[in-house]
Structure 1
Amino acid sequence: MLTIGEFAQLTHLSVRTLRRYHDAGLLEPARVDQASGYRYYSAEQIPAAQVIHRLRELDVPLPDVQRILQTPDPGTRAGLVADHLQRLEDQLERTRAAVTSLQRLLRPEPATLDVELRAVPATTVAAVEATVELDDVLAWYSGAMAELDALVGTPGPPGGLYDNELFTTGRGRVLVHRPVTAPPRTGRVHPVTLPAVELAVTTHVGDHDTIDVTYGELGSWVVEHTLAVAGPVRETYLVGPRDDPDPTAWRTEIGWPVFRLAPG
């Protein structure tokens, strides 16, 4: 039998860590002396300790480590590990996006934003709309677009209208739509006539993790050019994940409703 100190030396796990694993039921000693409370381990426990160590290096939570160790089927264990690795990759992508946003925000001289003032006529579209929580927008959008695609196909780039309250209070009206000559009225899908509007339009390049930076730059442009905001922001998804799996190819038009202020 190995003392806890000897076992710690062999596995490169601290005594404190081994005690915590014992308390969590992850790696119980082979024997605990009832009189002294000393923990003793066997050499056969070294591989299990090393597996736990590697899982913890990957930030697998202790309950998930326990679930992996207690799963007898190798395929199931591999699936649990793969799920966690996917979560790590997603987190890494979010971190990279945050770094990109910071680099863009901290540039001493930001690039000039390409903005177009565009008069958009009234347009009838097939739409799905609802009042949505900000945290639920992506899931709601996916369901709404799937319903639109099933009924009207993909005649043109989809779009969305987002009320200011969605961003200011975390809950607001959202409308997604597709252009179509004769919009159907089935389920949640119904015809909507979008009113004529003048927009300050710019194009966001890439995925939506950094779209808030483009929103901020467009908002600054609107203020600097003495234009007042009026109405919900419009987005048009020229190229998105439905069109190209490469996020660098995605293009989203942001249309900020505006009107010119009178001189003075």
Structure 2
Amino acid sequence: MFNIGEFASIGRVSVRMLRHYDEIGLLPPAMVDSHSGYRSYEGKQFAVLGAILAFKDLGFRLDEVALIVQGEIDDDVLREILTARRTELARQLDLDAARLLRIDTRLRHLKGEPPMSPITTELKPLPAEIVAQASAIAPGFGPENITPVIGPLFGPLARDLATAGVRPGSQSIAMYEAIESGDGEGARVYAAFPVGAEVSAGKGFTLSNVPAVALAATTVHYGSMATIGESWQALHAWIDDHGYELAGVCRELYILSEPEPQENWVTELQQPVTRP
């Protein structure tokens, strides 16, 4: 048996932390002296402490850790939880990498250096399309707000279309518009698939006529949605530098997306413009 100080020292945690784990039922001592109240631990409890620290290090809350180490979650559910956590961490890494890129871009600008990789832009008209779409509210603009909301719309939308007997093409579209009501902070996001004129609205989706655009500035973004903000900023800078004006809500055309990993995605950014 180990007293609480010995157990804390060997386990490389504080005595205060062990007391807290005892209070919340996460790691009770093997024995508590009825007279002194001193806590004692068994050697086999080091494995439990190690598991607690390991899952804490992965970013899990203590209530989640308790369910895991106490065996209330089976391996299949744990696998799903770990996969979801991995996705969350990967997305955060992408967002942090994008922020680093923006910082580097601003530092180069302050030094008077040209951008590392100027975008290739094409001016072209966009055709009118009939789309089947689903929508949701995001807390704001930017990949950190948009991506977690719009991404989950496409799978159910595709399934709803299949249930209705509609087979959409391989390409999909995303559109965004600011919400003026309430606090004005949110954005409505639309996930859409182009469909034929013969399609009728069905359960889980509506139909919308996306109007033709006489002229749009477009560029292609390769890779993760976490870094798409840089491509949009570069496209808007190109539009401004070349004397065009924004003339409507932008679109994103997903040329290559699911089920490919995001690093392989190909997305065309489409911004309607006019020449003043």
TM class by shorter-chain length? 0.7 to 0.9
Q: Which runs of 5+ in 1 are unaligned?
A: none
Q: Summarize deviations over 1:107-139 as a string: whole Å, max 9, x none.
A: 323221111111234x24243255x31254333
Residue 147 (1) aligns with residue 160 (2): yes
Determine the structure 2 residue equivalent to 1:39.
Answer: 39
Q: Which amino acid aligns with 1:221?
A: W
1:233 offset after TM fit, Å?
0.8
1:202 offset after TM fit, Å?
0.6
1:144 offset after TM fit, Å?
2.9
Residues in 2 aligned to 1:253 and 1:28: alpha-carbon distance in whole angstroms: 56
- 90 and 227 in structure 1: CA distance in 2 versus 1, 3 angstrom threshold: same
Taking only the aligned residue pairs, the percentage that are identical comes to: 26
TM-score (norm 2): 0.78
Residue 134 (1) aligns with residue 147 (2): no
Larger Rg: 1
Determine the structure 2 residue equivalent to 1:172.
Answer: 188
Q: Summarize deviations over 1:129-166 as a string: whole Å, max 9, x none.
A: 55x31254333343334334554323452223333449
**Which of 86, 90, 93 pairs up with 2:87?**
90
Structure 1, 103-112 or 215-224: larger mean CA deviation: 103-112
Residues in 2 aligned to 1:83 and 1:155: alpha-carbon distance in whole angstroms: 30
Q: Which amino acid aligns with 1:57?
A: D
TM-score (norm 1): 0.81
Check whether the contact 2:169–2:193 (CA below 8 A) recurs between aligned residues.
no
Q: Which amino acid aligns with 2:79?
A: A
Determine the structure 2 residue equivalent to 1:257.
Answer: 272
Residues in 2 aligned to 1:55 and 1:164: alpha-carbon distance in whole angstroms: 39
Give the SS at the match of 1:241: coil
Q: Which amino acid aligns with 1:133?
A: I
Give the SS at the match of 1:10: helix
Residues in 2 aligned to 1:7 and 1:189: alpha-carbon distance in whole angstroms: 61
Check whether the contact 1:157–1:179 (CA below 8 A) recurs between aligned residues.
no
**Which of 97, 102, 109 pairs up with 2:99?**
102
Q: CA RMSD in A?
A: 2.7
Q: Summarize deviations over 1:50-106 as a string: whole Å, max 9, x none.
A: 33233333333211221123326xxx4433543343233223312331233134322
Q: Which amino acid aligns with 1:20?
A: H
